[in-house]
Amino acid sequence: MSDKPELTVSVVTPDGEVYEKKTTLAICKTGEGELGIMPNHTPVLASLAIDEVRVKTGEDQYDEIAIGGGFLEFSNNVLSIVASAAERKENIDASRAERARDRAKERIEKAQNEHDAKELKRAEISLKRALNRIKISGH
């Protein structure tokens, strides 16, 4: 890929840097839909959905990073992703994610029975994050 213009993708969380690589394409899911970013893209600032970021590494190959929400900023060929949580596909513990899914489902049921709207919203977000991690892990 070195003969083409590149951009740098950097993913950070409150715990530190999760990912950094040069690429010709990164694909992110924002609140408005999917956004593909290539070198020299117009500067942009957007919120991120709980989903994945795909970073092109070869002809039909991508690194996949589970993102637990956050925002992205692109300018000067640097894509900075600040996420509340992020995990590379190869680092996802699928059984842990499945346990988190099960706990979130239990919390949702309890919150519905107790008519606790705040807890229901938190549990639904936890479920989305767990399902995202399971999907990206391939299980």
Residue among 88, 45, 48, 54 at smallest CA distance from 68: 48
Per-residue model confidence as pLDDT tens for the chain (139 residues): 457 899 999 999 999 999 999 999 999 999 899 999 999 999 999 999 999 999 999 888 999 999 999 999 999 999 999 999 999 999 999 999 999 999 999 999 999 999 999 999 999 999 999 999 999 998 6
| Architecture of the domain defined by 7-89 | Sandwich (2.60)
Q: What is the pTM of this model?
A: 0.86
Burial profile 22-37: b = 16 or more Cβ within 10 angstroms, e = fewer: ebbbbbbbeeeeebeb
- Domain borders along the chain are 7-89, 93-137
